[in-house]
Structure 1
Amino acid sequence: MLKSIKLAVAALALSAAPALAEYPEREVLGVVMWGAGGATDTVARAINPAAEEALGTQIVVLNKSGGAGAISTAFVNAAPADGYTFLYGAENPQLHGVMGVSDIDYGDMYPINILGRGVAVIAVPAESEYQTLSDLLDAIQANPGAVKMGSTGPGGLPSTIGALISNATEFDVTAIPFDGEGPGLTAMLGGEVDFMPTGISAAAEQVKAGTMRALAVVNPEPVDTLPDVPAITDTLPEMARFLPWGPFYGVFVRADVPDDVKQTLTDAFATAAEDETFLDLMANRGNVVMNMTGQEAVDFLAKWQQVTTWALQDTGAAKVSPEELGIERP
Structure 2
Amino acid sequence: MRFAWRTVLGLLASACVCTTSLCVSAQNYPSRPIRVIAPWPPGSSVDLSARTVALKLNDILKTSLIIENRPGAEGAIGSALAARAAPDGYTLVWGNAATHGSNKVVFPNLGYDPVKDFTPISSVHKNILSVAVSTSLPVNTFADFLAHAKTRPGKLRYGTPGVGSPHHLTGVQLNRRAGIEILHVPYKGGGPAVTDVLGGHIELTIASLAAVIPQHRAGKIKILAVTDSVRYEQLPDIPAIAETFPGIEILGWSAVFGPANLPADITARLNAALAEALQAPEVKSTFEKAGLVASWSSAADLAKRVSAEIELWKDAVASGMKFQ
Q: Name the residue aligned to 2:176.
A: 167
Query: Shift of residue 128 of structure 1?
Result: 2.4
Gaps of 5+ in 1: 1-16, 320-330
1:266 alignment counterpart: 271
SS of corresponding position for 1:188: helix
**Structure 1 residue 57: Cα displacement:** 0.9
The aligned amino acid for 2:147 is: D
Aligned partner letter, 2:107: G
TM-score where L is the length of structure 2: 0.85
Q: Identity, % of aligned pairs?
A: 24
CA distance in 1, matches of 2:64, 2:148: 50
How far residue 40 of structure 1 moved from its aligned partner, in angstroms, is 1.0
* 1:146 equivalenced with 2:151 (yes/no): no
Higher deviation after alignment, 17-26 or 217-226: 17-26
Matched-pair contact (CA < 8 Å) for 1:149–1:195: yes
What are the superposed Cα offsets for residues 40-95 of structure 1, whole Å, 9 maximum, x if unpaired?
A: 11111111111111111111101111111111110100112221110112210200
Deviation string 1:89-134 (CA, Å, 9 cap, x unpaired) is: 2210200122126263532322211012021110012332222223
Alpha-carbon distance between aligned partners in 2 of 1:105 and 1:185, rounded to the nearest angstrom: 30
Please point out which of 201, 204, 208 is paired with 2:213.
Answer: 204
SS state of the match for residue 265, structure 1?
A: helix
Question: 2:258 matched to which residue of 1?
Answer: 253
**Separation in 1, partners of 2:196, 2:263:** 42
Give the superposed CA RMSD: 2.1
Determine the C-alpha separation between the residues in 2 that align with 1:276 and 1:178: 33
Q: Would you say 1:192 and 2:208 are equivalent positions?
A: no
1:55 aligns with 2:64: no
Describe the SS at the equivalent of 2:296: strand
Find the residue that maps to 1:128 and give its secondary structure: coil
Max radius of gyration: which structure? 2
Q: What one-letter code is carried by the residue in structure 2 that aligns with 1:251?
A: V
In structure 2, what is the Cα distance between the partners aligned to 1:53 and 1:298? 27
Unmatched segments (≥5 aa) in structure 2: 1-22
SS in 2 for 1:20: helix
Alpha carbons 1:82, 1:258 under 8 Å: kept: yes
1:123 to 125, 128, 132: 132
Question: Are residues 131 and 242 of structure 1, via their aligned partners in 2, closer, same or farther at CA, if it must alter by over 3 Å?
Answer: closer
Q: Is the 8 A contact 1:96 1:104 kept in 2?
A: no
The structural deviation recorded for 1:315 is 4.8
Give the corresponding residue for 2:104: 97
Partner of 1:13: none
Structure 2 CA distance for aligned equivalents of residues 215 and 61 of structure 1: 32
Question: Which deviates the most, 211-220 or 281-290?
Answer: 281-290
Give the direction of change, closer, same or farther, for the CA distance of 1:208–1:116 in structure 2 (3 Å limit). same
Alignment of 1:84 with 2:101, yes or no, is: no
Residues 262-300 of structure 1 show CA distances to partners (whole Å, capped at 9, x for unaligned) of 222222222211111111112222322221122222223
Deviation at 1:171, TM superposition (A): 3.6
Which secondary structure does the structure 2 equivalent of 1:292 belong to?
A: coil
Q: Which amino acid aligns with 2:136?
A: E
SS state at 1:75 partner = helix
How many pairs align? 299
How many angstroms apart in 2 are the aligned matches of 1:242 and 1:103? Answer: 31
The corresponding residue for 1:326 is: none
For the residue of structure 2 that corresponds to 1:307, the secondary structure is: helix
Shift of residue 197, structure 1, vs aligned partner: 0.5
Q: Cα offset for 1:316?
A: 1.8
Contact residue 113 and residue 293 of structure 1 kept, 8 A: yes
Shift of 1:225: 1.7
Choose which of 205, 220, 224 in structure 2 pairs with 1:215: 224
Most deviating of 303-312 and 158-167:
303-312
Contact 1:47 1:273 in 2 (8 A): yes
Measure how far apart 1:161 and its partner are: 1.1
2:164 counterpart residue number: 155
Distance 1:264 1:19, change over 3 A: farther
State which of 28, 34, 43 in structure 1 corresponds to 2:40: 34
| TM-score, normalised by the number of residues in structure 1 | 0.84
Amino acid aligned to 1:266: N
Q: Which residue of the partner structure matches residue 8 of structure 1?
A: none
